[in-house]
Amino acid sequence: MRHHSQETAPSLYVQAAKDAFRKLDPRVLVRNPVMFVVAVGCVFTTASFFSRVVTGADAGFSGQISLWLWFTVLFANFAEALAEGRGKAQADTLRSARTDTVAHRLLSDGTVETVSASELAPGDRVVVEAGDMIPADGTVVEGVAAVDESAITGESAPVIRESGGDRSAVTGGTTVLSDRIVVNVTQEPGKSFLDRMIALVEGAERQKTPNEIALNILLAGLTLIFMLVVVTLKPLGLYHGINIDMVVLVALLVCLIPTTISGLLAAIGIAGMDRLLQRNVLALSGRAVEAAGDVDVLLLDKTGTITLGNRMASAFLPLPGVNIDEMMQAACLASSGDETPEGRSIVELGNTLGVSLNGVPQDVVSVPFTAETRMSGVDAAGEQLRKGATDSVLQWVHSLGLPERREELKALVDPVAREGGTPLVVASSTRGVLGVIQLKDVVKPGMRDRFDRIRAMGIKTVMITGDNRLTAQAIAAEAGVDDFLAEAKPEDKLQLILDLQKEGRLVAMSGDGTNDAPALAKSDVGLVMNTGTQAAREAGNMIDLDSDPTKLIEIVEIGKQLLITRGALTTFSLANDVAKYFAIIPALFMAALPELGVLNVMHLSTPQSAILSAVIFNALIIILLIPLALKGVRYRPRSTASVLRGNLLVYGLGGVIAPFIGIKLIDIVISAVGLV
């Protein structure tokens, strides 16, 4: 999916040309009021042409006007079809990954039956082994496996999916590479993540954004005003003794109404979503892309977003008088049966520092962690070893009648907590408290630089975590965020977003866990990691297939680029009308009102040449601006006032000057070849 060679594929242009004709269907055209008016004008001028042919009147001028008006509609349809075509090419790639997969459904008695994936329903459990394709979206409820998600993300590197935690969601159409997992199906038939992606990238569910709707209303209003203006020109001409041809009035109307931006508006929106898809971000609505351009507060979940997600052992801290080698040996032995990432990291750190568990007795019994004891460890020959939360381990030591050494332990525990780490106390049933293992959240590389870039955009960053305030403060300082919310429960995250929105702020949030779902649903832009839980993926309005939370920087840039592009082309389109006014109005009335000759600044050859040149320019400018609509105006971090000045200078002034040059050149060519 990451490769987009289809952008320049000739077949894409051929298909877009075919689709441009299909979009002449009035039921499709009526969605764009301005282009619908142009299409009605096409029908009128075409009827006028055939009427003149039948009566033997001169039909050449009306025929040329009719032809170029049809081109105007077709070029606008082509722009939209080309933007949609890139999404459809993506959908074809995805559709090839969707097959009627065989599923091994687990029955209540423990037996397995083979069924079609289309027969699966929410709540079913399926067994997926190495080499099998996951038949449906769901959650891993048993086991751990490496999964190839290249069909979805385009990345060849496998990812780990395991039961429990925030990496349990799996997607139908991906392949298990190793081991065996049991998946609880969460999707309804025909509504899988892959189905939703196909529908979205095809543009079938692309809804107009509020900004786009408002702009459509403005364009429709301008069209209505110009229609009234043009209608009044007929009696005005008769008053001055000029019988203005209705074909000329239609041509004038099409040139004055904002056809350029109307023809490109849909392409701009679709292209914005496509640019996100090129960066492996699936936007579930056009509204989300637009909102991203106006975001001024960014909330990020700490675990798995700012940090790597698992606490890793970083140091062994023995109590005074305790041999560090004995303490490390006890810590590693207590963790030997702990298969959590934290437990494995303790053993790995011990191995790095020279601790060996080869001589450990074979009769060691592992004691798993429980929510009640908040400890884990082992029972070895004549000795029990435990590691866990400070209070729990001290209570265990006290129950054995051993000295707790609270003050000395506090001197080790407090600095660890202040630095943002998690202290695990290690104790022995024969030797008492031995020391502290320091676990530390590892901040992802390059986070500080990325947050500096976000800050340069005028966006405030807030880290959200369930950790205590000391830990949160240390991680926030290391990562470089502006603020943090510690000891946050799901309702706290939600309340923070509501408070910010009441202040008139637009809020983006990045998260991956079930506890993030309410906040993701409420935020203006909810970016969900593809590794996240099913609940999180359902709640957000954007899914990052690469699971890189800092992708929000690019998302904001693309959102701003979409808004700037729309503003630039709207400015250009409206400025165009000024030049076309100077081309056509003098041509209509100069014979009866010679004083209007002062407005004929382009000195066009004849009235008919002036009108035809303006109509041709009006059609060609749409096709010339398609690359800009699809690529977007380049975004650079700067103030709104600076953006407005740039728009007016480049696209406003350019929109006035370009038609003067273009219409004059077309007039010269028309006159040279004798078209009129």
Q: Are 333 and 364 in contact (CB under 8 A)?
A: yes
512 is in an annotated binding site: yes
Catalytic residue check, 667: no
Token pair belonging to 284? 């579930």
Amino acid 572 reads F
CB atoms within 10 A of CB 647: 21
Asked if residue 520 lies in contact with residue 549, where contact means CB atoms within 8 angstroms, the answer is no
- 318-322, long-range: CB < 8 A, 24+ apart: 318/434, 318/435, 319/405, 319/408, 319/409, 319/412, 319/433, 319/434, 319/435, 320/408, 322/431, 322/434, 322/435
451 is in an annotated binding site: no
Q: Is 634 annotated as a binding residue?
A: no
Residue among 277, 270, 162 at smallest CA distance from 543: 277
Dist. CA 60–CA 673, nearest whole Å? 14
**Closest by alpha carbon to 262, among 307, 223, 226, 293?**
223
- Parallel, antiparallel or unpaired: strands 507-511 and 525-529: parallel
Q: Are 587 and 604 in contact (CB under 8 A)?
A: yes
Q: Is 375 annotated as a binding residue?
A: yes
Other CB atoms within 10 A of residue 113 CB: 9
Rounded Cα gap, residues 30 and 28, in angstroms: 6
- Residues linked to residue 443 through DSSP beta bridges, in sequence order: 307
Pull the structure tokens for residue 202. 């095809």
338 appears as a binding residue in the annotation: yes
* Parallel/antiparallel/unpaired status of strands 125-129 and 180-185: antiparallel
- 372 assigned to a ligand binding site: yes
Q: For residues 616 and 666, is the Cβ–Cβ distance under 8 A?
A: yes
Among residues 132, 148, 245, 301, the one annotated as catalytic is 301
Rg over alpha carbons for the chain, rounded to the nearest Å, is 34
Closest alpha carbon to 529 in 546, 541, 515: 546
Are 44 and 52 within 8 A, CB to CB? no
> Secondary structure of 4-67 in the HEC alphabet?
CHHHHCHHHHHHHHHHHHHCCCHHHHCCCHHHHHHHHHHHHHHHHHHHHHHHCCCCHHHHHHHH
Whether 374 has a binding-site annotation, put simply, is yes
Residues 6+ apart with CB under 8 A from 62: 45, 48, 49, 52, 245, 247
Q: Which segments are annotated as binding site for ATP?
A: 338, 342, 369-376, 387
Which residues are catalytic, by number?
Answer: 301
Q: Which segments are annotated as binding site for Mg(2+)?
A: 512, 516
Q: Which segments are annotated as binding site?
A: 338, 342, 369-376, 387, 512, 516
